[in-house]
Amino acid sequence: LAKTTQPISMDSYEGQEVNITCSHNNIATNDYITWYQQFPSQGPRFIIQGYKTKVTNEVASLFIPADRKSSTLSLPRVSLSDTAVYYCLVGPVTGGGNKLTFGTGTQLKVEL
């Protein structure tokens, strides 16, 4: 599975847009990019998933350049409740035996 690199931590203020970038230089052709959010002592929560270009849902946008060697999770107008660890994962999402490989994630801290 492709290895990912993301910042260990980020700080922001309420109302700001937050962009978390993930590097995945050796992403394979059949790999998707998935982001999860995790609060302390809870299971990871699926945020968004994409293969190329741009994906948007009600909580976030995911930007993927043409070479797919990186991706950016964009959280518009964050609030205190967005303080959490954000994980970027890269891997195939079809077929059996699909394991998710988590890194240490990005700890996002949102302040007033």
Partner 1 sequence: ETGVTQSPTHLIKTRGQQVTLRCSSQSGHNTVSWYQQALGQGPQFIFQYYREEENGRGNFPPRFSGLQFPNYSSELNVNALELDDSALYLCASSLAGRGDQETQYFGPGTRLLVL
| Options 16, 101, 109, 111; binder of partner 1; rule CB under 8 A | 101
Sheet holding 84-91, edge to edge: 9-13, 106-111, 84-91, 32-38, 45-50
Of the candidates 59, 64, 62, the residue with the CA atom closest to the CA atom of residue 78: 59
Interface pattern 69-88 for partner 1 (x via CB under 8 A): ------------------x-
- Asked if residue 29 binds partner 1 (CB under 8 A), the reply is no
What does the alpha-carbon distance between residue 86 and residue 83 come to, in Å, rounded to a whole number? 9
- Asked if residue 93 binds partner 1 (CB under 8 A), the reply is yes
- Asked if residue 49 binds partner 1 (CB under 8 A), the reply is yes
- Nearest distance from residue 16's CB to partner 1, in Å? 26
